[in-house]
Amino acid sequence: MRNALRHLKKDPVLAEIIRRTGPYDMSYREPVFETLVRSIVSQQLSGRVASVIFGRLQEALGGGPVTPEGIMKLRPERMRKLGLSGQKTLYIRELAKHTKKGSVVFENLPEMDDMAVIEHLTQVKGIGVWTAQMFLMFALRRPDVLPVADLGIRMAMKKAWNLSDLPKPPEMEKIAAPWRPWASVASWYLWRSLDNE
């Protein structure tokens, strides 16, 4: 991590964010089915609300791990009553089906490169590039992911670089070019910079 920070501090704006934020402390999860279900539950929700709904889902499955088999045993109406939207219920069930039939194989993901992981996961309805990128960062621990669709990253860049508008992907890529191969670490600091308001 020392190498990453030394590299990222060459960017004066990021160096100041790192100084204000303090030590890097990314929380990771295992690269398994349950982690991706948690990501789907979290889409467009605050962390607290997502956590409550995910907790209800776990409880409905007996309190153990969230598995494709468990999801397929829950009726969609029951999933809706737990607080999942119809869309998210559909997406989670789609992921369970793909995993059960072997078209999504979590055990293979650590061996794949980033683009291959994104292609593998986005074949499932409801899993977009952003969700796949979060899985790359927080489950597969990939060091060089820049989630250009993430509103938090866009807001942090706008503020830190004094931009008049939220940056679009080409501008974000340009700003982030010097951070490679540590864009995930830089992204974590950008998210944290919004916490320090």
Neighbour-count burial of 132, counting CB atoms closer than 10 A to its CB (0-12 exposed, 13-18 middle, 19+ buried):
buried
Task: Check: pTM over 0.85? Answer yes or no.
Answer: yes
Instruction: pLDDT band for 196, please (50, 70, 90 cuts).
Output: low
- H/E stretch holding 172 reads helix 169-176
**Alpha-carbon dihedral sign for residues 56, 66, 142, 24:** positive
Tens of pLDDT, residue by residue over 73-93, are 999 999 999 999 999 999 999
- What is the spatial distance between Cα 54 and Cα 100, in angstroms, rounded to a whole number? 21
Per-residue tokens: 135: 């899985």
Q: Give me the amino acid identity at 66.
A: V
Identify the pLDDT of residue 52: 96
Tens of pLDDT, residue by residue over 95-132, are 999 999 999 999 999 999 999 999 999 999 999 999 99
- What is the spatial distance between Cα 152 and Cα 197, in angstroms, rounded to a whole number? 13
Tens of pLDDT, residue by residue over 127-181, are 999 999 999 999 999 999 999 999 999 999 999 999 999 999 999 999 999 999 9
Nearest to 8 by CA among 158, 193, 196: 193
Domains contained in the chain, CATH given: 2-26+146-195 (1.10.1670.40), 33-138 (1.10.340.30)
C-alpha radius of gyration, the chain, whole number: 18
